[in-house]
Amino acid sequence: MSQPERLQHFFKSVGWHVNNVGLYEQAFTHSSYAHEREQGSGHNERLEFLGDAVLELIISAYLYHHYPQLSEGKLTRMRADLVCEASLAQLANTMDLGCYLRLGKGEAVGGGGGRPSLLADVVEALFGALFLDLGLEQCRVYVLELYRPVLRDLQEGVLRQDYKTLLQEFAQDRYGVTPDYRIVRESGPDHGKIFVSEVLLSAQPAGRGEGRSKKEAEQAAAKEAWKNLT
C-alpha cells in the first residue's frame, strides 16, 4: 500500500476531511527518512515547530474559557500536563501513528517508531499540517475532538477537587500566602455539634462556613472565600 493510500486510511479512521495530502505526508516523514533520499525530501521538523505553537494556543484558549475560576498558575500547570511529551505520545498511540511513519533505515531498526519523543513530534507536526491546510478554526475542532476523553477526565477532576485545595493554590499563586483556618463558634449538643470556621489570608478574614465537623466547616469557609476572590 502506498503512503497516500495509507494516509487515506488514517484520515478515515480519525474522521478528518483534508485538502492538501502532501502536508500530511510531510508530517509523517522523519528527518532520517528525508536524509536517506538521494535528492532529499521534506520532513516534519518545521511542521512540528508550527504545530507546537498551534496546540498551545488551542489548549490555552480552551482552558481559559472553560475554567474562569482558576488562576494563571493553575491554568499553566494544566496546559503543561496536556501538551507534554507523555500526553502527546499517548495520543499518538491512540491513533496508531506509528503505522504511518516514514523513518530512515537506522531509525526504524533502532525502534524509533516507538519512542515517545518521536511520536510526540509527529502529533505536533500533524497539528501544524492541519493548521496550514484547514485554518485555525477547523484545526481547533479536530484537535479538541482528539483531546475530548482527556479533557472530560480533566473536568471531572477539577469538579471533584476540594475547595481548600483550590483556595490554597489560588492564594499562593495570587498573593504568595497560605490560608489559615480557625473555629470561631461551636453550638449544639455533643452528638450534633455545628462548627463555624473562618479562613484568613494574611491575617484578614476571607470567608466563613459551617458544618457538622471541623473539616466540613473549613471546606465551607474555603468555598465562600474562593468564590468571593475569584
Which of the residues are catalytic?
52, 124
Grid-cell match 471533584, residue found: 160
Q: Which residues pair with 199 in a beta bridge?
A: 181, 207
Torsion 78-128-18-37 (CA) sign: negative
CB 147 within 8 A of CB 127: no
How far apart are alpha carbons 194 and 222 in whole angstroms?
Answer: 17
Helix ranges (DSSP H) in 28-181? 31-36, 45-66, 72-83, 85-94, 105-109, 116-134, 136-160, 163-174
Look up residue 155 and give its three cell numbers: 473536568
Q: Which three cell numbers stand for residue 10?
A: 488514517
